[in-house]
Amino acid sequence: MNNSEKIAVLEKKVTRVTWIESPGPIMFGLGLYGKFGAGGNAFHPLLNDATVVTSLLVIGGLIMIWGGYNIFTLKRQLNRLTKA
């Protein structure tokens, strides 16, 4: 495998991780809205439940951390290949 093929594979992996990670910020944002913005009058009744809101914050945060770590490592590998 030459460098251009490796770069293409890594870019495809970055795209895949980005798609997998995309629900994380949405969940985290809904959790923040339910915690701080709704004030007990959310647009959906589940966002008024403290357990659901805390779960959204934790799960969304973990997905974002996982995705950020994976994207960081893949981009670092891409950077090494493009400089070589």
Model pTM score:
0.85
Q: Is the pLDDT of residue 1 over 80?
A: no
DSSP 42: -
Q: Is the pLDDT of residue 84 over 70?
A: no
Retrieve residue 11's tokens. Answer: 């870019």
Instruction: Quickly count: other Cβ atoms within 10 Å of residue 37's Cβ.
Output: 12
Mean pLDDT of 47-70: 96
pLDDT digits (tens, 9 = 90+) for 20-44: 999 999 999 999 999 998 878 889 8
Are 29 and 57 within 8 A, CB to CB?
Answer: no
Q: What is the share, in percent, of the chain residues with pLDDT greater than 90?
A: 77
Q: What is the share, in percent, of the chain residues with pLDDT greater than 70?
A: 99
